[in-house]
Amino acid sequence: MAPTPPTPHGAHSPSRVPTTAVRWIVVLLLFLSVLHFSSGNQSKSGVAKVNFREKEKQVLDQILGRYDARIRPSGENGTDGPAIVRVNLFVRSIATISDIKMEYSVQLTFREQWLDERLKFNDFGGKIKYLTLTDAARVWMPDLFFSNEKEGHFHNIIMPNVYIRIFPYGSVLYSIRISLTLSCPMNLKLYPLDRQVCSLRMASYGWTTNDLVFLWKDGDPVQVVKNLHLPRFTLEKFLTDYCNSKTNTGEYSCLKVDLLFKREFSYYLIQIYIPCCMLVIVSWVSFWLDQSAVPARVSLGVTTLLTMATQTSGINASLPPVSYTKAIDVWTGVCLTFVFGALLEFALVNYASRSDMHRENMKKQRAACEALDHPDPSDLMEDGNTTFPMVRQCEIHMQQSRPNCCKTWLSKFPTRSKRIDVISRITFPLVFALFNLIYWSTYLFREETEDS
């Protein structure tokens, strides 16, 4: 094999020419890719620079520039019928329910929603879901008011808790947080075994049903916070209804919510019923004290009577002065009567004790006189014609008389004062137990009847 001839000095190698060209081609491709990437970023940044918040301002200026808030919206489907406003509530808390003022305080989120076709706008392909306002004067608002309101205020911390949302198809949602004190007329005949119905009434003030109609929102118009705790009541249920009212100026649309509260009886059982029972039972202790222990029995009777009177006045101080008799009035009145009866019983015992002493003294004097006026009975036995018939009559009378268990038992207590105490020990508890049976049967039955 012949050797390869050497390359002349200064001539280039044929393999190096294509290598340099490849390098230049790679550099050119990298430059083009960088240029394309930068241009793509610029195009993307150009799309992102569109500020839809600025578009919202333009839309608001456009729709509100020609809008007149004094004119109510048209009816459904653009008709001349009444504007339909749908209402729903969220009860955040119920602070107090006052029996003496017959009112309750509630904090709620109040929402209204209606359709105003004048507020339709372009949503830019779904980019603008809704417009938000905080000034309710910019759009037409329903003239709703709470008809049974006593006091109320808005919440402005940190900012006013209110907003208005305008949706692309013209729907308007108004939401606000308010606190209200509302009147709640109560029927306290079964107090404290009662249930109370407190209403929340909302009505139109100036627009009649020809122009404005309030309706409850479909589905769940009233929601209540789950962890709702009340000190003396339990919210059993709530009902929504309509309460349109007719006056000389027309018929006005009205909505109402009836809140059914059940009074917690355990508090009153511990604070009223059990202490009253204890006071009545303590007043019976005087029946077991000796009738000669006058200071002890008087002090016990007077103390329990004054305590019972104080208990009764304290109960009435927390209730309004109504004209009818309440269940608690019957209970306290009967307990007070039992305590007062125990005090009167001692007065009767004291009188009977003095009468027994007087009768005993009279018997002693009569026995002494008879001993002086009559001879010895043994002398009379000698005269059989006189004494035998009398003895025979006594034997016949003794044979005809039948033993009586009550008389036999009472004969163990020779004095009338002692008998009164013994009878009171049995009579007072039995009568009080009978009263309890009648009281609880009557009022619990009436409570179940009202529920049904």
CATH class of the region 52-263: mainly beta
Mean pLDDT per 10-residue segment, the chain (452 residues) = 45 50 68 58 50 79 87 85 94 92 95 93 85 89 94 91 93 95 94 94 94 93 91 92 92 95 92 94 90 87 93 89 92 95 89 71 67 56 48 47 56 71 91 96 79 60
The segment(s) of the chain belonging to CATH 2.70.170.10 are 52-263
For tokens 């016949």, the residue is 396
Instruction: Supply the pLDDT for residue 365.
Output: 66
The segment(s) of the chain belonging to CATH 1.20.58.390 are 265-354+413-451
Q: What's the Cα-to-Cα distance from 206 to each of 211, 213, 440, rounded to whole Å?
A: 10, 12, 50
Instruction: Supply the pLDDT for residue 128.
Output: 86
Q: Which of 273, 339, 345 is nearest to 307 (CA)?
A: 339
Q: Which of 106, 89, 92 is nearest to 226 (CA)?
A: 92
- CATH assignment of 265-354+413-451? 1.20.58.390
Query: Kind of pairing, strands 222-224 and 83-98?
Result: parallel
How far apart are alpha carbons 423 and 445 in whole angstroms?
A: 33
Instruction: Supply the pLDDT for residue 7.
Output: 45
pTM value is: 0.72
